[in-house]
């Protein structure tokens, strides 16, 4: 057996194990924002205030918790001005919070967190995001952008987006 063939066989045999070592998340795609938002417990326009706690992931200090200011509630009964959102710690089906810089604005569809649901300090009145669908959209200059309703990246005016969401709730 040739050297190249032997290497190819080794790669094919060990590839599944290598991908599992990088992430234990295993979920199906739940769809764009307008598909996942109706199932979320809380949907809001938020501003990322600060990253709260960090964990070494791939030798980098990575934020795993963040405080967000609730700018506008689009769905749900949340009355607090700020809430805590938990992200990935290396093995959950949640986004790494580095993608949400401090001071940035987002539309997010949250799941209720669980007591100790993956992080020390995570509590039932906190929230989390999922990577199993488009659970967040960027908000910049009064435009929402991301995987809004189709399979491609899109952008639309915030007011038109809110009208679209109204139809998605029903």
pLDDT along the chain (170 residues), means of 10: 46 34 72 94 96 74 86 95 88 87 97 68 85 96 95 94 86
Question: What's the rounded Cα separation, in Å, for the pair 65 and 52?
Answer: 5
pLDDT at residue 3, rounded to an integer: 54
Is residue 2 assigned to a domain? no
Per the listing, tokens 């790669």 go with 11
Query: Residue 58 is part of which domain span?
Result: 33-169
Q: Is the dihedral of CA 113, 95, 161, 72 positive or negative?
A: positive
Q: In total, how many domains does the chain have?
A: 1
Question: What's the rounded Cα separation, in Å, for the pair 94 and 110?
Answer: 11
Is residue 148 assigned to a domain? yes
Give the domain CATH number at 153.
2.40.50.120
Is residue 67 assigned to a domain? yes
SS3 36: helix
Is residue 10 assigned to a domain? no
Residue 2 CB partners (closer than 8 Å, separation 6+): none
pLDDT at residue 112, rounded to an integer: 86
Task: Point out which residues pair with 2 in neighbouring strands.
Answer: none
pTM greater than 0.85 (yes/no): no
Is residue 4 assigned to a domain? no
Question: What's the rounded Cα separation, in Å, for the pair 101 and 66?
Answer: 10
Residue 140 CB partners (closer than 8 Å, separation 6+): 104, 105
65 neighbors 52 (Cβ within 8 angstroms): yes
């Amino acid at each position: 057996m040739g050297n190249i063939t032997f290497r190819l066989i080794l790669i094919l045999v060990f590839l599944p194990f290598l991908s599992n070592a990088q992430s234990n998340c295993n979920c199906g795609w739940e769809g764009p924002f307008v598909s996942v938002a109706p199932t979320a417990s809380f949907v809001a326009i938020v501003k990322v205030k600060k990253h709260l706690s960090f964990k070494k992931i791939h030798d980098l200090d990575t934020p795993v918790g963040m405080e967000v200011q609730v700018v506008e509630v689009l769905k749900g009964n949340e009355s607090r001005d700020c809430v805590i959102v938990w992200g990935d710690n290396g093995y959950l089906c949640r986004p790494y919070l580095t993608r949400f810089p401090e001071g940035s604005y987002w539309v997010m569809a949250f799941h209720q967190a669980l007591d100790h649901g993956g992080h020390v300090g995570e509590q039932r009145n906190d929230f989390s995001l999922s990577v199993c669908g488009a659970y967040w959209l960027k908000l910049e200059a009064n435009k929402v952008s991301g995987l809004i309703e189709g399979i491609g990246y899109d952008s639309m005016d915030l007011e038109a987006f809110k009208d679209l969401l109204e139809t998605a709730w029903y």
